[in-house]
């Protein structure tokens, strides 16, 4: 235990026993610190709203002045001004943040979150040296939650998780080969073909139990972009002293010995052949599981890992202060009338500026200049492109549009129909060299100016727009986050009658041409569970 120290544990979902944050860190932190103050931003957002959640968080920081704050930043749940305020309210507090997806999010998200924190905990070892602040490699698993149980191995093969990316294809293939597989988790119920093998959603006790009951636990590693990466589930299964057959990812072979502590597959055929082999060879399978378990206990338990990390941080004393970043240079925001001037007039107006931004029909949000200019300098790019809120006076921020994801999954024509000049801040020299293209962009003409090599994406919304993109719904739904759901959940929790007019305003938006919002809303209602919840809500309000 850190003598007389207290920590504010404020990771997303940290009050939910069935979610990652609680399962991984809650018990270990309570063993290490004298006092743990637990604050769940997810719970408080859904109970109240995002704004009140931010206020309550800072009130707790001010009241408790904890030695540490432990965060797991998901997206935009905390305002930048909230996170920057921590040091003003409690200057001696050290802030940590866990980043689990650096292979997909380092350059556009987690590297920029390091502005707010003193230390980063990351699960991709190759990124440690890239952080500007101090970063610790962290893949620890809570061995109080995930542990061996003396129960029968009743399942040949199991998979626990959602049917995202190509997981359903793998399961379908194994079923066709006659493998007795059982799947658990949300989403499989939407696929009738898996009805016979679906075992439902697991709470934390049943999750550990099923891992222990399985001869072979499958671990699919692909992220939402289809790339394999190191995931926590692999360590949770090994902590149960159960055999894990994991999708190939080089990161695992840097931690466990291939063949003696680790077995991986590369494709469907390789997966099937490994399953067939290890179902027949019990002793070899169990020996590999034993070795993996022993390696995990020695190196990758959350408690021992966190003790080492906090001990290292304590050794720094006050010699490792966090310095807040500053805007890299002056930004000139051009409006539409500026871009209607002559080329020479525009150039003349930029004389005392280093960067050019745009405000044609959107509202700038706080810290936009800081984030986007820092992204330009940090990664030596010519363009930075941020996310955006869709907003209405009645509904507030109701959708988020992800710019980086749009660049990856939409075709070029769709991408440029979504992105507007207002998303961009660019270097002045680059703007001047391409001034005609930027003017054409402001006139609605298609251009091809954003590339992977010249653009640094910023995955956080820093503009707010009332104009919905003119794209087919099937394209937009791939790159949005439904912020309106947070408002609906808070109204539901409070049993607030305002949910009724809010619901009707969503529907009425369809009549005014905003069919993205209404289509997304009704698509969600088609889910049987959500329909039931909505019906219950209406019943409680009338």
Give the model confidence (pLDDT) of 122-152 as tens digits. Answer: 998 889 999 877 899 999 999 999 999 999 9
Task: Name the band, by pLDDT with cuts 50, 70 and 90, for residue 29.
Answer: very high
SS3 404: helix
| Cβ contact 383:450 at 8 Å | yes
Q: What is the pLDDT of residue 542?
A: 34
Closest CA to 274 of 165, 157, 184: 157
Output the CA–CA distances (angstroms, integers) from residue 302 to 25, 77, 146, 167, 380, in the order listed. Answer: 7, 25, 11, 28, 36
Q: What is the pLDDT of residue 317?
A: 75
Burial class (CB in 10 A: 0-12, 13-18, 19+), 44: buried
Q: What phi, psi does 460 have (nearest 5°)?
A: -165, 135
Q: What is the pLDDT of residue 172?
A: 96
Q: What is the pLDDT of residue 530?
A: 46
Token look-up 């005014």 returns: 512
Give the model confidence (pLDDT) of 211-251 as tens digits. Answer: 999 999 999 998 777 788 888 999 999 999 999 999 999 88
Q: Is the pLDDT of residue 527 over 80?
A: no
Q: Is the pLDDT of residue 508 over 80?
A: no
Mean pLDDT of 342-368: 95
Closest CA to 227 of 140, 104, 129, 135: 104
Q: Is the pLDDT of residue 166 over 70?
A: yes
CATH value of 2-140+303-316 in 1.20.1050.10, 3.30.450.20, 3.40.50.970, 3.40.50.2000: 3.40.50.2000
- 230 versus 273: the higher-pLDDT residue is 273
N- to C-terminal Cα separation, the chain: 52
Q: What is the pLDDT of residue 537?
A: 45
Tokens of 135: 């970063």
- Reduced 3-state DSSP string for 82-130: HHHHHHHHCCCCEEEEEECCHHHHHHHHHHHHCCCCCEEEECCHHHHHH
CATH value of 155-300 in 3.40.50.2000, 3.30.43.10, 3.40.1160.10, 3.40.80.10: 3.40.50.2000
| Cβ contact 19:13 at 8 Å | yes
Q: Is the pLDDT of residue 24 over 80?
A: yes
Mean pLDDT of 45-62: 96
Give the model confidence (pLDDT) of 425-470 as tens digits. Answer: 999 999 999 999 999 999 988 788 999 999 999 999 999 999 888 8
| Cβ contact 310:2 at 8 Å | yes
Task: Name the band, by pLDDT with cuts 50, 70 and 90, for residue 531.
Answer: very low
Q: What is the pLDDT of residue 510?
A: 64
SS3 5: strand
Q: Is the pLDDT of residue 100 over 70?
A: yes
Closest CA to 180 of 157, 200, 160: 157
Task: Name the band, by pLDDT with cuts 50, 70 and 90, for residue 300.
Answer: very high
Task: Name the band, by pLDDT with cuts 50, 70 and 90, for residue 22.
Answer: very high
SS3 276: helix
Q: Is the pLDDT of residue 97 over 90?
A: yes
Output the CA–CA distances (angstroms, integers) from residue 336 to 78, 150, 433, 438, in the order listed. Answer: 32, 70, 19, 11
Q: What is the pLDDT of residue 522?
A: 82
Alpha-carbon span 303 to 144, nearest angstrom: 9
CB atoms closer than 10 angstroms to residue 98 = 22
| Cβ contact 50:77 at 8 Å | yes
Q: For the chain, what is the mean pLDDT? A: 91
Q: What angle do CA 278, 214, 269 make, to 5 degrees?
A: 40
Task: Name the band, by pLDDT with cuts 50, 70 and 90, for residue 319.
Answer: low
Q: What phi, psi does 276 have (nearest 5°)?
A: -60, -40
Give the DSSP H/E element, type plus range, for residue 181: strand 181-184
Burial class (CB in 10 A: 0-12, 13-18, 19+), 48: middle
In this structure, of 40-44, 368-372, 459-463, 514-518, the range with the lowest mean pLDDT score is 514-518
Alpha-carbon span 198 to 186, nearest angstrom: 10
Q: What is the pLDDT of residue 532?
A: 46
Task: Name the band, by pLDDT with cuts 50, 70 and 90, for residue 3.
Answer: low
Token look-up 């739904």 returns: 477
Q: Return the percentage of the chain with pLDDT > 70, whole number.
A: 94
Give the model confidence (pLDDT) of 321-330 as tens digits. Answer: 556 678 889 9
Give the model confidence (pLDDT) of 463-505 as tens digits. Answer: 999 988 888 899 999 999 999 999 989 998 888 898 888 888 8
DSSP 79: -
Q: What is the pLDDT of residue 540?
A: 44
Alpha-carbon span 355 to 360, nearest angstrom: 16
Output the CA–CA distances (angstroms, integers) from residue 497 to 358, 525, 529, in the order listed. Answer: 39, 19, 21
Alpha-carbon span 279 to 284, nearest angstrom: 10
Alpha-carbon span 193 to 146, nearest angstrom: 31
Mean pLDDT of 347-367: 95
- 534 versus 56: the higher-pLDDT residue is 56
Domain limits, CATH 3.40.50.2000, in the chain: 2-140+303-316, 155-300
Alpha-carbon span 59 to 66, nearest angstrom: 12
Task: Name the band, by pLDDT with cuts 50, 70 and 90, for residue 529.
Answer: very low
In this structure, of 97-106, 270-279, 522-531, the range with the lowest mean pLDDT score is 522-531
Alpha-carbon span 471 to 515, nearest angstrom: 10
Query: What strands lie across the sheet with 33-38, from one edge to the other?
Result: 33-38, 2-11, 68-72, 94-99, 119-122, 134-137
Tokens of 154: 């009743």
Q: What is the CA radius of gyration of the chain?
A: 25
Q: What is the pLDDT of residue 273?
A: 97
Strand-pair category, 181-184 with 155-160:
parallel
Q: What is the pLDDT of residue 214?
A: 98
Q: What is the pLDDT of residue 324?
A: 67
Q: What is the pLDDT of residue 535?
A: 46
């Amino acid at each position: 235990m850190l003598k007389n120290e207290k920590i504010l544990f404020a990771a997303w979902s940290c009050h939910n026993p069935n979610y990652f944050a609680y399962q991984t860190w809650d018990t270990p932190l309570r063993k290490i610190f004298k006092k743990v103050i637990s604050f769940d931003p997810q719970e408080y957002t859904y109970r109240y709203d995002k704004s009140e959640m931010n206020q309550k968080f800072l009130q707790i920081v001010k009241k408790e002045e904890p030695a540490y704050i432990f965060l797991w930043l998901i997206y935009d749940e905390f305002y930048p001004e909230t996170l920057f305020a921590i040091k003003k309210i409690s200057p001696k507090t050290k802030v940590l943040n866990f980043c689990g997806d650096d292979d997909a999010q380092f350059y556009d998200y987690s590297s920029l979150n390091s502005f707010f924190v003193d230390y980063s905990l990351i699960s991709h070892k190759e990124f440690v040296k890239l952080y500007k602040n101090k970063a610790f490699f962290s893949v620890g698993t809570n061995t109080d939650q995930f542990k061996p149980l003396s129960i029968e191995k009743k399942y040949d093969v199991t998979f626990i998780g959602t049917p995202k990316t190509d997981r359903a294809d793998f399961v379908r293939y194994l079923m066709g080969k006659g493998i007795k597989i059982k799947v658990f988790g949300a989403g499989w119920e939407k696929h009738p073909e898996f009805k016979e093998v679906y075992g439902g959603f697991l709470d934390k006790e049943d999750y550990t139990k099923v891992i222990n009951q399985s001869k072979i636990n499958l671990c699919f590693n692909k992220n939402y972009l289809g790339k394999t990466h190191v995931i926590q589930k692999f360590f949770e299964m090994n902590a149960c002293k159960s055999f894990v057959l994991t999708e190939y990812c080089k990161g695992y072979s840097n931690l466990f010995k291939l063949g003696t502590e680790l077995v991986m597959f590369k494709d469907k055929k390789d997966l099937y052949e490994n399953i067939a082999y290890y179902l027949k060879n019990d002793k070899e399978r169990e020996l590999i599981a034993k070795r993996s378990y022993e390696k995990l206990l020695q190196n990758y338990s959350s408690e021992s890992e966190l003790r080492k990390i906090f001990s290292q941080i304590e050794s720094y004393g006050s010699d490792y202060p966090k310095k807040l970043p500053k805007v890299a240079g002056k930004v000139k925001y051009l409006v539409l009338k500026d871009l209607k001037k002559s080329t020479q007039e525009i150039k003349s107006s930029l004389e005392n500026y280093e960067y050019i931004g745009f405000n044609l029909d959107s509202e700038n949000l706080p810290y936009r200049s800081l984030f986007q200019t820092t992204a330009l300098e940090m990664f030596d790019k010519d363009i930075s492109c941020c996310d955006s809120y869709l907003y209405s006076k009645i509904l507030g921020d109701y959708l988020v549009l992800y710019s980086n994801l749009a660049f990856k999954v939409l075709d070029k024509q769709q991408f440029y129909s979504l992105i507007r000049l207002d998303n961009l801040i660019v270097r002045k020299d680059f703007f001047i060299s391409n001034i005609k293209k930027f003017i054409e962009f402001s006139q609605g003409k298609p251009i091809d100016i954003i590339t992977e090599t010249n653009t640094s994406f910023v995955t956080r919304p820093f503009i707010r727009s009332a104009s919905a993109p003119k794209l087919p719904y099937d394209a937009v739904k791939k790159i949005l986050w439904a912020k309106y759901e947070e408002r609906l959940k808070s109204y539901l929790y409070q049993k607030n009658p305002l949910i009724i007019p809010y619901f009707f305003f969503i529907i009425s938006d369809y009549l005014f041409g905003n069919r993205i919002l209404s289509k997304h809303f009704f698509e969600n209602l088609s889910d049987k569970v959500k329909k039931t919840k909505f019906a219950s809500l209406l019943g409680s309000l009338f």
